[in-house]
Every structure is written in C-alpha cells, then in structure tokens.
Amino acid sequence: MGRRKGLNRSESAFLLDVGLVFRLRKTLRRTAVALAEAGQTRLRRNRAILAAVTIRAVLFDLDDTLFDHWHSTNQALEALQGVFPAFRRWSVPEFGARHSHLLEQFHLEVLAGRLSVDEARIRRFSQLMEDAGWAADRSAAVALSPSEMRAAAARMAIDYRRAYVSAWRLVPGAFALLEALHPLAPIGVITNNVVDEQLDKIRTCGLEPFLDTVVISEEAGVTKPDPRIFEIALARLGCEADEVVMVGDTWTADIVGARAAGIRAVWFNRFGAVAPPEPAAVAEIRSYAPSAAAVKVILGSGT
C-alpha cells in the first residue's frame, strides 16, 4: 500500500483536542503557581503585621474607665439634694468634690480592712452632714444626739446607694470599644475595690462576655499602683509586660502603676485634665468614639 500523505479529519481533530488539553494544563499550572505565590505574599504580609502589633492583651481599669461612676454619683447626689435641703448650699460640682474626697478617704480604710463598706458609708455621710451644718438646719430646738445623727447618716447612705445603683451605666462608647477590641486581643480588668461591688457592676452593665480575667484588689491582697496587682493579671493572661497595654483614668493608680510594672499605659482623660509631667509620653484618649480610632491608640498604631 502507498504511504499516506496526510491526516484525515477525525485524526486532525483528535490532535487539536490533545493540544488544547496540554495548553490548558500548562495554563492551570501557571495559575496554580501564581495563586501560591500570591498566597505566600499575603502570608508574609500578615506575618509582618502580626510582628508589628506586639500587643497580645488589653487591661482596663473599671470605675470611670468602663463603668461610669461619675455619672452614677452625680445622679445620686442630685437625688440627695432633693431630699435633704442642707446639701443644697453646695452646687452639684462642689457637693461632688466634697463627696469624692471623703469617698476616697474612707475607701482606703475599706481596702485596708479597717472599715466595713457599710461603716464607711455611714461615716462618709456623717461627715457630709456635719460639713453642711445639717443639724443646725433642723427645726427641732434640741440638737440631735450622736446616735440620732448616726441613724440619719445611715438612712442617707441607703438613699444614696439606691439612687447610685439605679443610675449604673457604662462610660459612653465603652461597649462598642470592647466589641471592636475583643476579637483582636484578650481583655482584662484591674480594679481597686471589694469583690461583690465590682462583679455586680460588671454583670449589670453586660461586660462579662468581653472579659477574660478580672483582678480585684480585695481578692488580690494588693491595690494599684502596686506593680504586684498588674503582675497577677499578666500571669492570668499568660503575657509579658511589654505585650500588654493598660487603659485607665486615674493617673497614679493606672498610669504610674502600669508603667512601674513595665506596661505601656493609655490615659483615658475624658474631662480634659492636665497631665502631670511624669511619666512622659503617655498616649491619651478623650473619647471612645469612634471606636476604630480608640482601638488604634490602644494597640499602638495611632496617637
């Protein structure tokens, strides 16, 4: 038989299909390589971001940093002025300043174990009554006896407490901030107070889902600014000091205390107070809104 001079139509179509398959395979290999390279690039970029962000956990103070103690106190003091006219001689800011001074004074006695919470409240309002000349404003001609004054102060403390608790709320923007932060890093609280009081605030204000640890001075046996209370929080979170940031409103307890423990501090200064000269170079937040901006400052990627 003679030699064929060419391919028939079906054979040509078969070879064309084979060529397409080879070219398709080549294209797929190139695509796979490109995707792998792109994936490696993204992985390297993410690793670089993670390496740059060294913060592994965020610590917060509770009162007037997350929980709005200032608001609750003012609401309660205004309520007292409505019931006890002697307190109306002071403006709410002055009344608040006098009350805050006594609260801190007797609170230290509570933290030291020298006074019960109830006794501290009675003594606080006894002193406020005396400062306001409360007995002199009474219509009775006979001055109140010490026991009567104490009983009046106890009733006043109950009225104050009722109004204070009814006004509990978070600092504006705190909830949204915690929502934004929690997916990025564990969150802890370090607070100076008694356990029952602080846990009640945390539960009432809905903070529990966001908190990975809570360190309260009563159970810790030490108070801020002592570095040991910060070290307890670090141990619970499994972090080193340089991997954590502390956010707080009180300069000595939160800022100085955190820095003494080797922790970067962010001052929550919503009322625009003047910063003391030391320690220098402390980042500052005036508001938690917008939360994205506050997150940047806390994590160290903004000022």
Burial class (CB in 10 A: 0-12, 13-18, 19+), 125: buried
Give 286's pLDDT tier (boundaries 50, 70, 90): very high
- Closest to 50 in 3D by CA, of 160, 238, 184: 184
Whether residue 6 has pLDDT greater than 80? no
- Name the nearest CA neighbour of 278 among 295, 265, 296, 294: 265
pLDDT for 45 equals 46
pLDDT at res. 44 = 47
With a cut of 60, say whether residue 184 has pLDDT above it: yes
Q: How far apart are CA 285 and CA 58, in angstroms?
A: 15
What does the pLDDT average to over 256-261? 96
Distance in Å from the first CA to the final CA of the chain: 90
Q: What is the pLDDT of residues 38-55, one digit of tens each?
A: 555 554 444 444 444 589
In degrees and rounded to multiples of 5, residue 2 shows phi and psi of -80, 155
Q: Which fold has domain 69-166?
A: DNA polymerase; domain 1 (1.10.150)
pLDDT at position 203 over 50: yes
Considering only 37-51, 120-134, 155-169, which range has the smallest mean pLDDT? 37-51
Averaged pLDDT for residues 249-253: 96
**Inter-residue contact 189 to 214 (CB < 8 Å):** yes
Do 246 and 264 touch, CB atoms closer than 8 A? yes
**Averaged pLDDT for residues 133-153:** 70
60-69 residue pLDDT tens? 999 999 999 9
**What is the share, in percent, of the chain residues with pLDDT greater than 70?**
78
Assigned token pair, 195: 């356990």
Give Cβ neighbours of residue 84 (< 8 Å, ≥ 6 apart): 134, 156
Check whether domain 55-68+169-299 has CATH 3.40.50.1000, yes or no: yes
**pLDDT at residue 37, as a whole number:** 61
pLDDT at 1: 47
Question: Taking 90 as the threshold, does the pLDDT of residue 194 lie above it?
Answer: yes
Give the number of residues written for the chain: 303
For the record, the structure tokens of 78 come out as 């205004």
Mean local confidence (pLDDT), 165-171: 98
pTM of the predicted model over 0.85: no
79 has a pLDDT exceeding 90: yes
pLDDT recorded at residue 224? 97
Assign 276 a pLDDT band (cuts: 50, 70, 90).
Answer: confident
**What rounded mean pLDDT belongs to the chain?**
85
Sequence ranges of the domains in the chain: 55-68+169-299, 69-166
Give me the pLDDT at residue 9, please.
54
Question: E-assigned strands of the chain?
Answer: 57-60, 187-191, 213-216, 244-248, 264-268, 283-285
Confidence bin at 272 (pLDDT 50/70/90): very high
- Give the CA angle between residues 155, 159, 162 to the nearest 5°: 135
Please indicate whether residue 133 or residue 267 has the higher confidence score (pLDDT). 267
Query: Which residues are 216's β-sheet partners?
Result: 191
